[in-house]
Amino acid sequence: MRNVEKNGNGKRICVIGLGYIGLPTASMLAIQGFDVIGVDINKKRVEEIKNLSFKTKEKDLMTLVKGAINSGNLKVQTKPERADVFIICVPTPCIENNGKKKCDLKYLNKAIENIKPYLEDGNLIIIESTIPPGTTDEIYKRLSKDKKIYVAHCPERVLPGNILKELVENDRVIGGVDKKSAEMAKDIYETFVTGKIYLTDAKTAEMVKLMENTYRDVNIALANEFAKIAEEIGINVWEAINLANKHPRVNILKPGPGVGGHCISIDPWFIVEKSSNAKLIKTARELNDSMPLFVVEKIKKIIKKDNGKIAIFGVTYKGNVDDTRESPAEKVAGKLIEDGFEVKCYDSYAREFKYPLSSLDDAVDNADIIVVLAEHDEFKNFDKDDIKHISSKVRSKIILDTKNIINKELWKKEGFKVYVLGDGKNA
């Protein structure tokens, strides 16, 4: 017997795609009392959710999913069912076609085809996946030929690593193909979102989402360009950014080995795809993509040789997550291997990586340099004994920190030469 509480009003919601957005959203709705069908075409994923054996570094996600399943309100399966609302949370990756990057809508289109047989008059479809401006209207045109349906775009905004808190607390933007669609979607989100909910049209909502991630990408590109300039003119970019940020209207983000993940490194291309005016956006994207090679050049300048062993610390796309998609570490490691270096990667957070992962001891054994590429707490918290142990294994006591996170004094005390990306030491 399903436990349908007041918020659910007996409504059935089918959530398509149980990834890092779909699963928490489906669980949250189930906890609110909606009758939720979570759908994923990946059988293994469905089984892992059912028996709570999926892996996650996301705080409290397991507890939420467990609560949703135990409430009896969340069913997970590989096929959709008839429902009042369909929420689509499938990936929309970037593909390259004739040298041009564009959004690949194949999973979204497949999801639409899969729900089509179950659609009934009065149903609402909400697209959470990130999409180029105009996509929601096109989907509406396609589907409204034979059914009276409502369609809205409600882009997800949560930060991996802090998903559950942001899912509830962040403001949301909902764009409808018409006013009624936007209002119907608001009724759903309002049951668990404590932030404000703003209504607009679908194309504006699509663009807002892309603008948010593009703003961050361009800001990081500026920080990365400053890091390159700092290396050239011989100043420390971290100190300079810190001082510039003391200005009340300046907030420069942090430089690093590049921008990874499946959002910020991809979404700006969906604007470039639609507009020939997107020149700054394209340049920023290319600049961020150039950072892994810049790191490789810095490594070579520091160790002053074209061979040897490199120990990479951290291969995920950012700190304290297990996701390695679009990770700058993949490009850094790939280029070093191509150039003839022996590369060993250590990361206790990563789930899987393109190159084999090693134990800490194997990674640092006889290494000519340690290169930190992700800001995991583990690397920040290495104590005197950890560093002493590492120090006893390496060939050369050199560390390059591309994230400016390690306890430099402790490493120096153990005899390490410490370099930071953008420190201007190789000017």
Distance in angstroms (rounded) separating the CA atoms of residues 125 and 112: 9
376 binding ligand SAJ? (CB under 6 A): no
Site size for ligand SAJ, by CB under 6 A?
A: 20
**CA–CA separation, 207 vs 51, rounded Å?**
38
Q: Quick check: 312 binds ligand SAJ (CB under 6 A)?
A: no
Q: Could you tell me the smallest distance in angstroms from the CB atom of residue 60 to ligand SAJ?
A: 18
59 near ligand SAJ (CB under 6 A): no
Is residue 209 among the annotated active site residues? yes
- The nearest distance, CB 130 to ligand SAJ, in angstroms, is 6
Least distance from ligand SAJ to the Cβ atom of residue 268, Å: 11
Quote the CA–CA distance of 233 and 427 in Å, as a whole number: 6
Interface of this chain with ligand SAJ, residues 168 to 197, rule: CB under 6 A: none
In contact, 379 and 316? CB cutoff 8 Å: no
Residue with tokens 């497949």: 110
How many angstroms separate the CA atoms of 372 and 382, rounded? 12
Phi–psi pair at 101, nearest 5 degrees: -90, 140
Q: Exactly one of 209, 309, 397, 403 is catalytic; which is it?
A: 209
Task: Give residues 398-427 in contact with ligand SAJ (rule: CB under 6 A).
Answer: none
Which of the stretches 43-51, 150-158, 307-315, 394-402 binds ligand SAJ when contact is defined by CB under 6 A? 150-158
Q: By CB under 6 A, which span of 58-66, 249-257, 392-400, 413-421 interacts with ligand SAJ?
A: 249-257
Tell me how far, at minimum, the Cβ of 5 lies from ligand SAJ, in Å: 28
Which residues, other chains included, contact 386 with Cβ-Cβ below 8 Å and sequence gap of 6+?
Answer: none
159 forms part of the interface with ligand SAJ (CB under 6 A): yes
Nearest CA among 392, 321, 385, 324 for reference residue 357: 324
Q: Is 156 in the site for ligand SAJ (CB under 6 A)?
A: yes
Rg (CA), the chain: 24
- Sign of the torsion formed by the C-alpha atoms of 200, 204, 209 and 211: negative
- Does residue 220 belong to the site contacting ligand SAJ (CB under 6 A)? yes
Segment near ligand SAJ (CB under 6 A); pick from 111-119, 187-195, 209-217, 361-369: 209-217
Side-chain-side CA neighbours of residue 103 (13 Å): 25
Among the listed residues 30, 423, 26, 18, the one whose alpha carbon sits nearest the alpha carbon of residue 241:
423
94 part of the active site: no
Q: Active-site residue numbers?
A: 209, 263
Contacts to ligand SAJ by CB under 6 A = 130, 156-160, 212-213, 216, 220, 253-254, 256, 259-261, 263-264, 317-318
